[in-house]
Structure formats: structure tokens, C-alpha cells
Structure 1
Amino acid sequence: MQVRILPTPVQAAALEATLRACNEAATWASEVAFDKDVKRNFALREHTYGEVKARWGLGAQAAQHVIKKTCDAYATLKANLKAGHLGKPGSKRYRKATGKPVAFRPESAQPYDDRMLSWQIAERRVSIWTVSGRVKDVAFTASPEQLATLALYRKGESDLVCRDGMWFLNATCEVPEAPPNTEPVDFLGIDLGIVNIATTSDGEIMAGRELNRIRVRERKLRTKLQKKNTPSARRRLKKRRRKEARRAKDINHKIAKHVVAEAERTGRGIALEDLTGIRERVRLRKPQRATHSSWSFHQLGAFIAYKARRVGVPVVYVDPAYTSRTCAECGHVDRANRVSQAWFACRNCGVVAHADRNGSRNIRARAWELWRRGAESTAPVPTPRREVGTGRKRSITPSDARCASPSL
């Protein structure tokens, strides 16, 4: 649960100094870990704990979190390398990632536990540790729904984040899940695409025309401002950064919420395509590359999966091979069946249908067949990670591991 905190100028200065000190210490600890090849928490603590406390004036809990954050960064980097997200071993990108220590930006997020951060939810205030001492009565703002969730389910760590001059706290909330539906009456097939973001086997189309138009406009504006390269152009670039990503994320949240609500209402499961590695498999012409790289299919799939787990809707991932060339009526497979991006015409039985609707029906049929054979829901299950100093566990989803890079 993300809430925005509203510190005074004095409080904001203390928070900024704390983030800088913690991240400088983490970068130093990362260099020690890289040089000594010690990347486990307790082993690295023996080499760095005393120095981190003495040089940067951090408290005991803050020093432990700094060291653990460093180890977590290396663990995430290792997972990304193993999954192939940073290229093949020996490639330029792979060598760049492994050839130097992980570095932390001055304003990277810093974890806090309940000894360093206390919440007064009813008063909308927090008390937070800084390098200048305990800062009390820091205001935060939240909706009634967020306040209720924080009051009922907040447990474990919270992360202090500074983004574009605004301050946030990301609180870990352990929200109970509904019991999974082990007997869905059917599946709702979802065909993911670029022209149409999502198409359901019920025939509903969530068009991506508006989003794609915005992306083209933003791309042209970025190119124009980068060429101009004046102080005012750079200020405008900084002001507009992440705007496109925020809009896409908002649209994906709305689509995911609608799809999961429909599946829950009708007692069905959700069928998605397993599109892992599609960017490596597909060869595109240059004008199409930017559009394809901007396609946020993984984010939408992750949103659907976690929202489905919260309400007990099963999710099954199917092989996407030939779903766009297979007739949902007779099962005939032919490349010529796909007459255009929008239309499908079967060469065997003569059925004419919207191409994405036909594909979503094939996805639904494959999921139902897998389920009848005994396949279980494949929605990603978070992996528990024990937190420092609290004895609690924090959930990390597979999408978190994809977000890490050598420079954090």
C-alpha cells in the first residue's frame, strides 16, 4: 500500500540526508561484497557492520537494513542473470552487469521496520528515524480504503521512497486471499495484443488505439526535445518522464480489474498466453520495434494474476503457438487463415471472425483442456523473504525480480 507523506521543509531535509547516507553506505558495502565475493547477509555483516555505523552515523537497525538491501540486490541480479534477462553469458550486457559492483542511486528506496517507523493511522501521522534523530508527526495522506487496509493488514517492512520531489511510504500489507475456486464452470480466454490490448472469449475488446496514439505522440515529443537539448527542453523532459508509463499502468489496472470481476461473477477461471521470451523470438522491421518494446503484456498479466489470487479465481497459462492461425470452430490450422491483422477466415469451414476473438476462444479451449487433465492454477505465488529485525516475512513476486538492474 503506497501512501504519500507530506513532510515540512525541515523534515524533508532530514529524510533526504537519511536516504543519501543509507545509499552511500549501501554502495560502499556493495563494493566490499564484490571485492571479497561475500554476498550473504550475515557474512557481509562481519566485514561492514561496524564501518557502516561509524562512518555514516547509522543506527543498528538502519545499518542492518543497508547490508541486507545490498545482499538482496545481488540476489536479484543473480536471478536476472539465471533467467536470461541480461543477455547470454559472455554478451556485452551480461559482462557489464557482472563486471562491476552494484551501485545505488542517492535517492533509492530504504526499508524501515517497526523499530524505525511507527504509524498513527487514525491521526494520519508517522514517526520515522533519520540520521538527525527521530522525526515525529510527519503527516501522510490516504484514502479511506487505504487507511482501512493499513489498519487491518499492515505488517513488517515499509519502504521510504522519494520520487520527483514527492515522498512516499510503501507499506507491506498481508491481505488474506479467498479460497481458490477448484471447480470453475469454464474459462475466460484473454488474447493479449498491441492493437487491441485485451480481447476476451466473450467477444469483448479493450482497444489500445488511444494508448498507442499517446505513445507515438510522447515518442515524437521526446525526440524533438532531445534534439533541441536546451535547458528548458531538458526541464520539460524531466517533467514528462514516466507519464506514459503511468498512463499505461493505469489502463492495465482497469482492464485487469474488469477481467477478474467478470470471471469471479460467472464462476470461471482465466486463461492467458505464456508470452515469455516473445521479444527474443520475434524479428521486426525497424518502425515496429519501438511499438513492440512498449507492449506491456507482462505487466497486464501480472496484474490479472495477483487480482485473481485475491478473490480465488484460478489462472492457467497456455502455449500461444498457432492460436492466431487455428479456427476455433473446426480446429483447422493454416497460416492463410489469418487474412489480416483484424480478420480471420478459415480455409476449411469458411468461418469469418474477428482475429483476436477467434484467438481468445482458442486460448479458452486450451486452458479448459489443461484443467480437465488436472493442471493447477499457475498464478505466480509470492516467495516469502524474512525481514531483518522483525521476524516477519515479506512477499516478493516474480515481477519484482525483473525490475532489478546493476544500477539500483
Structure 2
Amino acid sequence: MTAAQALDPDKIYAARLHAARARPYLATALYALHIVASPRVPTMGVDRHWRCYASPVFVAQRPAEELASHLVHGVSHLLRDHHGRSDRYARAHDLTGRAERLRMNLAADAEINDDAFGDGLLVPDDAVLPSTLDLPGGQLMEDYLRQFRLGPRTDGLTWLDCGSGADGLCREWELGPDGANGLSDQQRDAVRFRVAHSIVGRPGNAPRGWQRWAEEALHPTQPWRALLGAAIRTATSSSGTGENYTYRRPARRSAAVPGAVLPSLRRTPPRVSVIVDTSGSVSDADLGSALLEVAAITRAVGGRRDLVTVLSCDAAARVVHPLCRAEDIPLFGGGGTDLRAGFTRALRSRPRPDVVVVLTDGQTPWPSSRPGCRTVVGLFPPVGPRGRPVLDSVPDRPPGWAQVVEIGTPRV
């Protein structure tokens, strides 16, 4: 590589250091990015493997402070998974061609640049902002894609090329999955996890868009919420649940049996008992999720809070609380785990529950016999020191008579 094709290393170091000082919560991502000199790149672009391709001419012409803004812009594409989101959007809407990928790049830029600059970072002259597309700020890439098309307003932006890391379309100047210095899937996820923790650990230091991203990265919306809700609704509406015989209204078959009064089958709203595992192996984040799920359970039984009771249990069952508001429920515990005590307490209550919902990490003995009511188990992922997920740990599986939904797949 000739001198004209090489990057100025001192300027790259200075740009990266300036970016890390201006956005300390992005430091892990900034230093995970591998810089590659490429004269074929218009300015600077990233691929999905965390390589940043930079034009030596562009780097030579721009000050380190502006290059810092471009580095923050590049890692923002990668952290927010714009390549994966673009691929999914393209499949869902049957979009093909470079023009549609350009539109995705513009929408991704509008999402990032809305609050990326200022506070120590220069705004590049050619930055694509929501106002560039005549759109409001504070929205996601997918929202912007539904609101604009390529046309006269975007004719001057056809040069834009942030690489496959922005829109998912591989470029000829990229090294591909087998090239040197790319990050593996596990390494990329680890970078995202650390950045998200840096943002959450310093509330108020990051813009609202990054805070929203960090919460989603650490507590991703997953199908388990719908699955758990469906399991509870199925259990509470199944045949036999909440059903009992009454003589208040004779059965219609009584006419066929002269001299006898047959009781009719009456369905009453089901009663739900929620057992929350509060042992030391359950993280605070899981307990917070448990309270959210308790609130969701009340919606599954038609909003009748008087039909839902909650008890916290580690090695012993605690006081049973009628549900008023989820945030008002105290959860006691922190010791060992034996949810059999919780089952015993719940099943001895009067009136007896029709459904028992257990929220646990699974590290507990289970009743030896099947309870006399339907049981739904929400299974938290196990956690290790400092609340981090234990990826290679396999929790004890609940008995076959319980309907199991795995809550919150661990992510790093």
C-alpha cells in the first residue's frame, strides 16, 4: 500500500480517543472497531463484522474531531443492528435492489443522527438528519421507512454509503465473513451487552434514544410474554376450571327426570395463585419482571384483582397478598429454594385456586404428586455473579404436569 493509500495512524488514534471521551458509554464499541484503509470507500463505512473502512483521502482532509463523529456514527449502526433490521424489513416487505437499501441507509442515519452530535461531537456537514427528509425526530428506522420514498429531496444523497453495517447489503470492498479482524457473533453480542450496561449504569449521561436501546438490549421484547399470557389464559378458561354445580338454577335435564331436581353447572371466574421464587438464585431483574407478569395475569382473568393472590417463597412460604397493585407487593426471601412450601400454602388457601402460576429459575424441588389444579411455570434464566446470565447452566426442568414457558432468553 502506497503512502497515498495509507491512513494516518496518529489521526485515527486521536479521533478514537476524542470519540471515547465525548461518548464514554460507547468506548467498548469504539475500541472493538477495526479500521481498514480502503480507497474505494466514499468516506467511511462499516460492515456487519465490525470493520470500519476509511478512505485515506477522506481521513487526510478531515480534522480528527470530525472523524470522531464518523466513528460514533459507524458504531451506532452496528450496535443498533441496522444490518439485521434492514434484512428483516426487506424480507417482510419484499424489497430488493440497491435503491431500497439506500433508503434503509437514509432511514438508519436519521435514527442515529437525531441525537448523536453535540456535547463534544461535531455535526458533519453532510449528516442526514430527520429534518433532511422533512420528518420528525425521535423515531426508529422502521418508522422513517414508512414515511418517505426516494425522490427530489433525496437526489443529492445518492453518494451515501455507510456500508453493509447500515443496510445489510454487502459491498465489493468489504472483506466478508472470512476476512481478517472481524468479530464473531459472540464477540459482537458481548460488545452490545457491555455498552448497554454502561448506559444503564450512568443514567442521564446518554440521550433518550440510547437509553431506550440499552433497556431493549438488556430486556429484549420476546415471544415469551405472549406465550406466558396464552398459557395462563388457556389454563383459566379450560374445561373444569372455575366450574361447580349449583341448585340455584335447576338443570335443563330436570324435565326428563320427574320428581328429581338436578343441579346445573355454573362457571365462576377462576382464582389464580401466583408463587414468586424469591430465593438467592433469582436476580433482582427477574423479581422486577415477576411483578410485571403478576400485573399481566390480572388482565388474563378479566382485571379481577380480587381473584389473584401472590405469595413469595424461598425455603418457606411468606404471607399471601391479595393483588392491589403490582408495585405494592413486598417480596421477601433471599435464602434457599423449596417451592413445595409455596404449593402447600397456595393449595390450602380458601377458596382454593383454580390455577397456580409459578415464577422461578427452576432450582427447586417440586411436589411429588400433581396438584389438584392446573399449573403454569414461568422459568427465569439462571444468573451468576453480579447478575450476569449463566449461558451453560441448565435449570431443573419442572414436572411434566406443569405447562412451562421460558422467560427471557439470556443474552450477552
TM bucket (normalised to shorter chain) is under 0.3
Greater fraction helix: 1
Q: Which has the higher contact order (CA 8 A, sep 6+)?
A: 1
Please tell me whether Structure 1 or Structure 2 has the larger radius of gyration of its CA atoms.
Answer: 2
Greater fraction strand: 1
